[in-house]
């Protein structure tokens, strides 16, 4: 082999050796690698504090409704029949803590226990009001309606002219409907009339 050829061959061998070394070179250490910042989760949207109206849409019990229930129902530790003949206990609850209908054999309860039942029952009334009323209400208007539903039942509320007028935006007409629900057993009862008048006054409060 000529010297030039030998030199060229040696140079080629050296170049190949360098290439092999480069191919087998271990990866750079983490200190040499570009440091990528940790993945940043998108910031959670800031929620505005809930308003009374938003709370009501979820069935919030209005304190004024509790006051009306306690004032007009009174408290009884033992079962009794209301003017319509329905077995009731505490502040007008018709079902016990387990959801069973009150009967003459229902065990007596304490006033704190009765208030727990009021809160439970009024929550159902609040949900009924929120689910059926299609117009914005003040706190007092919601409270009056919650007491109305608590006393008369969601079914009567849903089918009432009061609700129809209210959803039509006729607030004055709706207010005039409360007093029409003052009868039990076919008779006008003074206690029911006073309650309807209290609800009307609360509903119309500005």
CA 111 – CA 148 distance, rounded (Å):
22
Q: What is the CATH number of the domain that holds 62?
A: 1.10.530.40
Confidence band of 113 (pLDDT split at 50, 70, 90): very high
Question: Is 160 a domain residue?
Answer: yes
The reported pLDDT for the residue numbered 26 is 43
Q: Taking all residues of the chain, what is their mean pLDDT, rounded to a whole number?
A: 79
What φ, ψ does residue 106 adopt, rounded to 5°?
-65, 135
d(CA 89, CA 79): 5
Cβ neighbourhood burial of 148 (10 Å; 0-12, 13-18, 19+): buried
Phi-psi group of 96: left, alpha or beta (phi > 0 → left; psi -120 to 50 → alpha; rest → beta): beta
The verdict on residue 153 lying in a domain is yes
Which among 81, 116, 77 is positioned nearest to 101, based on CA atoms?
81
The residues carrying an active-site annotation are: 73, 82
pLDDT tens for residues 27-75? Answer: 444 434 434 444 444 433 333 333 333 344 457 999 999 999 989 988 9
65 belongs to a structural domain: yes
- Per the model's pLDDT, the better-predicted residue between 174 and 23 turns out to be 174
Number of domain units in the chain? 1
Domain that holds residue 178: 54-78+109-204
Q: Is position 41 within any domain?
A: no
Q: Is residue 35 part of a domain?
A: no
Instruction: Work out the widest C-alpha separation in the chain, in whole angstroms.
Output: 132
Q: Which long-range contacts (CB under 8 A, 24 or more apart) does 52-56 make?
A: 52/139, 53/136, 53/137, 56/126, 56/129, 56/130, 56/137, 56/142
User: 174 lies in a domain?
Assistant: yes
pLDDT given at position 19: 44
Residue 71 counted as domain residue = yes
pLDDT reported for residue 58: 58
- Strands 187-188 and 87-90, sheet pairing: unpaired
Q: Is residue 67 part of a domain?
A: yes
Q: 149-199: per-residue pLDDT in tens?
A: 999 999 999 999 999 999 999 999 999 999 999 998 888 999 999 999 999
DSSP result, 135-191: S---HHHHHHHHHHHHHH-HHHHHT-HHHHHHHTT-HHHHHTTGGG--EETTEE-HH
């Amino acid at each position: 082999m000529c010297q030039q050829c030998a030199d060229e061959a040696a140079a080629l061998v050296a170049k190949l050796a360098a290439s092999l070394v480069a191919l087998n070179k271990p990866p750079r250490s983490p200190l040499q690698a570009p440091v990528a910042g940790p993945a940043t989760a998108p910031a959670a949207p800031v929620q505005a504090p809930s308003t009374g109206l938003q709370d009501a849409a979820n069935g919030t019990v209005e304190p004024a409704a509790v006051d009306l229930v306690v004032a007009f129902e009174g408290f009884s530790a033992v079962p009794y029949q209301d003017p319509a003949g329905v077995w009731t206990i505490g502040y007008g609850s018709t079902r016990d803590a387990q959801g069973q209908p009150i009967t003459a054999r229902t065990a007596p309860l304490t006033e704190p226990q009765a208030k727990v039942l009021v809160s439970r029952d009024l929550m159902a009334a609040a949900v009924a009001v929120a689910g059926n009323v299609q117009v914005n209400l003040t706190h007092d208007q919601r409270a009056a309606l919650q007491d109305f539903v608590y006393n008369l039942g969601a079914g009567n509320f849903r089918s009432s002219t009061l609700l129809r007028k209210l959803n039509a935006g006729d607030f004055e007409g709706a207010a005039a409907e409360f007093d029409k629900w003052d009868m039990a057993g076919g008779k006008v009862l003074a206690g029911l009339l006073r309650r309807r008048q209290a609800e009307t006054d609360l509903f119309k409060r500005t």
